[in-house]
Amino acid sequence: MINTYFAELEQLLLKFPYIQSYSIKKKIYNSKQGYIQGSIFFENGSRLDFVEVKQINKTTKIKYRYHYMNADQHMVFRYDNAPHHPNLSTFPDHKHIRTGEKECIEPSLEDVLLEIAQLDRNSESDIRNGIQG
């Protein structure tokens, strides 16, 4: 049940390229609900800290946060569902970027990892093409 969900997340981390290491803490509340928290360290020095509170018989997470930082530990983006931006149409789901908050749907950990990989590829392309950001 919830153990299967957590095992799937860990399998994702094992298969995903660019991950140098990660640490995870889990709390099982009951067979259907639990909490997982982790830090994922990437080869380029960046890091993703995440939290999920999940009940497996619901499509959305009870709580989530995916906080991605560059190698200097400055925020690149953060997804969460803390109820502090009621003006957004996707409330409580939102994404923090350097210039503010924007609407978004609830991402999965895989969605976030794919976004990070795309950012990394774009960064490498900019460096190859002589564009410094």
Two tokens at 43?
């080869």
Give the integer Cα–Cα distance in Å for 29 and 62.
Answer: 13
Q: Is the pTM of this model over 0.75?
A: yes
Give the integer Cα–Cα distance in Å for 59 and 90.
Answer: 16
Residue with tokens 């860990």: 10
Q: What is the pLDDT of residue 124?
A: 57
Cβ count near 65 (within 10 Å): 17
Give the integer Cα–Cα distance in Å for 99 and 1.
Answer: 39
Name residue 35's beta-bridge partners.
27, 53
Listed by start position, the domains of the chain span 2-125
- 3-state class of 58 per DSSP? coil
Phi, psi of 123 (to 5 degrees): -65, -45
Structure confidence by residue, pLDDT tens digits, 5-14: 999 999 999 9
Q: What is the pLDDT of residue 129?
A: 44
Structure confidence by residue, pLDDT tens digits, 25-65: 999 999 999 999 999 999 999 999 999 999 999 999 999 99
Two tokens at 116?
């990070």
From 55-69, 88-102, 119-133, the region with the lowest mean pLDDT:
119-133
Q: What is the pLDDT of residue 120?
A: 80
The amino acid occupying position 89 is: S
Name residue 55's beta-bridge partners.
33
Two tokens at 87?
């003006």
